Amino acid sequence: MKTSLLYRSILSVIVVGGLGALSACSQQPTKPSSQKPARLSVDFQPIAPAVTQQEKDEIRSVKKVTINGQEQAIDYHRLMQTGQQDNGETFGVVKDYQDKVIREADGSAYLCNGTDTGEGSGLDHVSILQKNENLYMVSQFECGPGAMYVNQLEQSKDGHLSLKPNSLQFISQKEDFGGWVHCAGVTTPWQSHLGSEEYEPDANPKAPKPYQSNRYYQSVGEFYWHGDILKNNPYFYGWTPEVSIDDKGQPQYTKHYSMGRFAHELAYVMPDNRTVYLSDDGANVGFFMFVADKTQDLSAGTLYAAKWHQTWSKGLGAAQIEWISLGHADNKTVKDFVATKPHFDDIFETAKPKGDSCPTGFQSVNASAGHECLKLMDVNKDGKVDAADEMIASRLETRRMAAYKGATVEFNKEEGITFNPDDNKLYVAMSQVREGMENFAKKGKSKDTYDIGGPNDIQLAYNFCGGVYQSDVAKDEKIGSDYVVKNMVGLLEGTPKSYKGTEYEGNKCDINGVANPDNLTYLPGAHLLVVGEDTSKHPNDMVWAYHTKSDEMQRIFTVPFGAETTSPYWYKDINGFGYLTMTTQHPFGEVKKDYVRPAGVDTKTEAGYIGPFKFSTQPK
């Protein structure tokens, strides 16, 4: 269920000293800054697992918290729900390439809810921004096509938040080829919303799951482009969007093509305002780091892919991390190329693998599309294959190019990221340990599909409950960042467990530990890591508060059957109050066909918060 303090200490020794020959990774990690958050004591009064039918059908939240020795009453409060109307807009309605409401066959508006028609899961993440002495909430919807909205929030004297009437606006994405499957997000240190576009369509028409058969791509073609396939292109999607609020209170939207194209789950900005960690959601995927040229400006920078050097094979394992450069790029150059509607064979030539190898001149890789033989093309048609071609390939085909250059693309369902400034640790959720993370196996059974033709860097035992990794970060002069990950060590490991014949029947992972961890957030000063779940192994997904110093797990939130907890996010100080935002996605949406949903229950995706937390008391 949990990794013990002793076990983590042993792994830390192994990770730091395991590969002394790697000069880029072998130094003892040091803390780049002596500035630490003020010490804070936060202790929740946890809730029990959902057992009764009523508990399984409702949102349940922690009610009490003790902060610096003083007990406070807190609760869950709804902010917005899909279908809610304001200012002539309907929250969650998707619009087309002309910013006109998309209509279903019956004339109704296309609503991204996750339990209605259309492809997608519904509202995924909301960011609260403090700008112009106002509060704004940017919301993103995980559908194909994706949607974004912004509204203002009002804050009462006792800290409660609510929608400001007549403030809801649709955010246009048409200048950047439309939105796509928006997943997790963050509020940047400079008070903008940094989002994601997940599950990029595979541009190779010969791939096992090419863009033509991608259900999101089909949905975008049918609804966003109204069936005009000539307007569409797979390279339009799989990027990192950002929304800022200008001095007039209007949303400004852009996609950051400089940061690469893959199944973006999350882009997490470090305290230096220029180092960003990027997770990649799927099977046989990579882990990426972007270092911007300028602070608070992600329009240009250098992209890196992680190389896993394993030093421990028990549980979630451990490794030293080497970073392989994928070169420098800027938004304009990449966007201009994307606008030409390129084809996959403009970037790579392919050949048929021969066993575990490739013909002369081709590089053998095994990424999300399986074993491939690739040769970089003269992408920009200037008569030679050079760094300029590598740059375009590294952004449009980021995962393939990472594998091409020797990085590790064997991670599985890589999800949330957050940073602990108290101890200088980065956390990354891995929803399951399977396939490429195993050793020539799938779900514990021998299979070469996910490792043949690749380096087989990660060799761990199958664990369908998944876990959370922690990493030391340190200054790296060569890369030019104070926040470079040096290792990865298993921290929280989910434990398979049978509850057949008990009141907890249906749970397949220990109910007192994580199952398929998804998004993460951290409470600075409190040594508290919050872990949300996206799982079928707990019928009612949970959110946990994990105390990193004591290993104590506290269950603080559960959602209705068939729902997902997405994007918990911590705001420590919004005019003196703290908030833990939550999204309950598609209630009763992921259920068996024979399941009878209780009459009268709500199936709308919604965003809300636990709180408000008051921090007027001082630590003892």
pLDDT given for residue 17 in this prediction: 41
pLDDT given for residue 594 in this prediction: 66
Furthest-apart CA pair in the chain: how many Å? 71
DSSP string, 549-594: TT--EEEEEE--TT-EEEEEEEEEEETTEEEEEEEEESTT-S--TT
% the chain with pLDDT above 70: 93
Of the candidate ranges 28-32, 109-113, 167-171, 454-458, the one whose mean pLDDT is the lowest: 28-32
| Residues in Cβ contact with 428 at an 8 Å cutoff, skipping those fewer than 6 apart | 277, 279, 287, 414, 415, 416, 417, 468, 469, 471, 488, 520
Whether 301 shows a pLDDT value over 80: the answer reads: yes
**CA pair distance 497, 465, nearest whole angstrom:** 10
- Tokens 């390439």, residue located: 97
Q: Which of 258, 186, 271 is nearest to 475 (CA)?
A: 271
Question: Sign (positive/negative) of CA torsion 252, 257, 262, 265?
Answer: negative
Whether 237 shows a pLDDT value over 60: the answer reads: yes
Whether 23 shows a pLDDT value over 60: the answer reads: no
Q: Which of 124, 120, 280 is nearest to 216 (CA)?
A: 120
Arithmetic mean of pLDDT, 309-322 = 98
**CA pair distance 333, 172, nearest whole angstrom:** 22
| Residues in Cβ contact with 21 at an 8 Å cutoff, skipping those fewer than 6 apart | none
For the chain, domains (ranges, CATH) are: 5-90+104-200+237-294+305-324+406-614 (2.120.10.30)
pLDDT tens for 549-585 read 999 999 999 999 999 999 899 999 999 999 999 999 9
**CA pair distance 282, 263, nearest whole angstrom:** 7
pLDDT band of residue 299 (cuts 50, 70, 90) is very high
Whether 356 shows a pLDDT value over 50: the answer reads: yes
Mean pLDDT (the chain, rounded): 93
Whether 467 shows a pLDDT value over 80: the answer reads: yes
Query: Terminal CA-to-CA distance of the chain, rounded, Å?
Result: 32
Task: Specify the DSSP element, H or E, that contains 7.
Answer: helix 5-17
pLDDT band of residue 460 (cuts 50, 70, 90) is very high
pLDDT tens for 84-121 read 999 999 999 999 999 999 999 899 999 999 877 778 99
In this structure, which amino acid lies at residue 258? S
The token duo for 91 is: 């929250």
How many CB atoms lie under 10 A from the CB of residue 340? 10
Strands 564-574 and 283-285: unpaired
The token duo for 267 is: 């882009």
Higher pLDDT, 505 or 29: 505
**CA pair distance 249, 158, nearest whole angstrom:** 25
pTM of the predicted structure, to 2 decimals: 0.94
pLDDT given for residue 617 in this prediction: 45
